[in-house]
A and B are shown apart, each in its own frame.
Chain A
Amino acid sequence: MGAVVAMAGLGVGAWYDAHAHLRAGAEQSSLKAAQHHLGVLRHRVTVTNYANTVTTNRRNDLEASIGTALAQLAGVDTSLSSANAGASLEGVSINTLDTCLGGVQTALNEVSANNNGAAANAISAVSGPCAQLDGGANAGLVYPFDFPDPDVILVGRTYYAYATNSVAGNIQIISSTDLTHWAAIGNALPSLPSWAKPDNTWAPSVTRVNGSFLMYYAAEVTASDTQCISVATASQPTGPFVDASSAPLECQQALGGSIDPSTFTDSNGLSYLLWKSGGPGSSKLWAEQLNGAGTGFAPNTTPAQLLVPDQPWEGGTVEAPDLVIANGHYFLFFSGNNWNSANYAVGVARCAGPLGPCADATPTPILSSGNGIAGPGGASVFPDTTGAPWIAFHAWVPGAVGFPNSRDLYVRRLDISGAAPSVAAPGT
């Protein structure tokens, strides 16, 4: 009996032990499978993360490339816009420059045929298109050809500008209705008096007296080579002006001659002639009352000295006077320094009256080289159709200073409302 119980106990123990082994073995198998799965998953995570990193780097590279491409595109677009704007501007120029070129070719042909007047007319006729070449419109350039010592008057609603001689004639005359576009009219003074030397007529000044137009101008006396002032008359501003004089109006031979005439009419109706005597180092500005007809000086008058060079910028020369009155102030505009250089400039003096005395309003010029012009001078102050003051002057194109280069015509607004006049910035 005991043996049976013992065997049974051993059997049960053996079964229990075997069952425990089986259960532990199965769990171990499950664990191995789970660990293998985990290993696979971890490998996949590693691979996926690596792929993620690589792809992210590629994305970042691409985005950087896109950024670079867009920046380049923006830069190229800007350059393209500039180039297209330039091309457009140039295109406009090209269309009109063909006209300019045509005028130049005609002028060349006329020069070859010794038709100098026709050459001048041909080139003046294309002033608008050719003005683009000088690129000076922003500086106030309105006539891109030689037009020295300009004088501008307003008759009705038309502006007339007169200037020193050219191949077009003794005194150039051009006209405009807007101060921007000017057309050549021709030669305002077809004939010179017998005493005057050809090719030496300068600095005209035109004024209206009793319905007639008087032109004062400088000419050289053939017999003495002295520069003098004479006067011509015309019934209309376009001329022809006629000078029937047998002798000049003013010479001051002892002072080296007289040039650069200009007229001034005071608020009381009396008119005066202003001019310059002498050369470099001895120049002076003068004024004397004119007679009622304007063809001579008033009886019992003598020239009054207005100004001598006394400022460093003037370089020993003052010339080209032009007197205006504003708010009771007499402003004497004048040019100083060497006309044939970029040092030439425009200054202003204040005067007690038309016969002086005058003193510099500012120690420096109000208009000098810079901002697209060189050596401005020969100023002429005139009102526009509204009465607002403007200043016309000649100037060299920077880089082309000195004869035989041209002194082109410029006009700008002028402020003479204060104690010292100021020339408005170009384009204002």
Chain B
Amino acid sequence: MLVACCALVGAGLGYLLFDAIQSNHQYDRARHTLGITRATTSVVSRDLAKARIDLKLVTEQVGNDSTALAQDTSQLEGAKSALSAAQAHVLEQTSLINSLHACLGGVEQALNALAVGSQTMAANALHSVSASCSAAVNASG
């Protein structure tokens, strides 16, 4: 009976001891993993902070660039508008000059023909530029 009791107590103690050792091992593993996890967390936190700083920077740049682009676009539109107006003006004046040039050429031809007594050639020269002369007079107001 005594022997049985001793064996039972010994077995109980052995189980408790084994279980305690298992728990301690579990604790050690958990602690080790926790240490690694905390170190990793620290690194990731730094990465996150850096990423947030980068994001803030880039977001600011986007804001600035958007403003600059808006200004440039506005300037571009203004310049395009001014260019169109200038080109239209030049076109109009070129047309007037071409008309006047043609008119002047015809009048000169007529005068040159008259210089050698060729009335018919002079009349033809004037007739051929009458439209240009009218256009020049109308365009010049």
A residues near B (Cβ < 8 Å) are: 2-3, 6-7, 9-10, 13-14, 16-17, 19-21, 23-24, 27-28, 30-31, 34-35, 37-38, 41-42, 44-45, 48-49, 51-52, 55-56, 58-59, 62-63, 65-66, 69-70, 72-73, 76-77, 79-80, 83-84, 86-87, 90-91, 93-94, 97-98, 100-101, 104-105, 107-108, 111, 116, 119-120, 123, 130, 133-134, 145-146, 165-167, 198-200, 400, 403-406
Task: Identify A105's interface contact among B21, B66, B137, CB under 8 A.
Answer: B137
Give the complex CA separation of A35 and B31 in angstroms. 12
Instruction: Please determine whether A66 and B48 come into contact, CB atoms closer than 8 angstroms.
Output: no
Find out whether the CB atom of A17 lies under 8 angstroms from the CB atom of B19.
yes
Dominant secondary structure of chain B at its interface with chain A: helix
Q: Are B105 and A93 in contact (CB under 8 A)?
A: no
A24-B38 Cα distance, complex, nearest whole Å: 17
Chain B residues at the A interface, C-beta cutoff of 8 Å: 2, 5-6, 9, 12-13, 16-17, 19-21, 23-24, 26-27, 30-31, 33-34, 37-38, 40-41, 44-45, 47-48, 51-52, 54-55, 58-59, 61-62, 65-66, 68-69, 72-73, 75-76, 79-80, 82-83, 86-87, 89-90, 93-94, 96-97, 100-101, 103-105, 107-118, 121-122, 125-126, 133, 136-137, 140
Q: Which of A23, A77, A146 sits near B115, CB closer than 8 Å?
A: A146
Contact of A27 with B27 in the complex, beta carbons under 8 Å: yes
B96 to chain A, nearest CB (A): 7
Question: Is A146 touching B45 in the complex (CB atoms < 8 A)?
Answer: no
B13→A116 contact, CB < 8 A:
no
- Closest Cβ of chain A: how far from B41's Cβ, in Å? 5
Contacts of A34 in B (CB 8 A): 34, 37-38, 41
Question: How many angstroms between the C-alpha atoms of A6 and B32 in the bound complex?
Answer: 36
Is A80 within 8 A of B82, CB to CB? yes
Instruction: Say whether, besides A28-B26, A108-B126, A87 and B76 are in contact (CB < 8 Å).
Output: no
Cβ contact within 8 Å between B97 and A93: yes
Residues of A within 8 A of B96 (CB): 94, 97
Contacts of A9 in B (CB 8 A): 9, 13
Nearest 3 A/B pairs, CB to CB: A20-B23, A13-B16, A83-B86
CB-contact partner of A73 in B27, B30, B72, under 8 A: B72
Which chain B residues border A37 with CB–CB below 8 Å? 41
B75 touches A73 (CB 8 A): yes
Are B34 and A30 neighbours in the complex by a CB distance under 8 Å?
yes
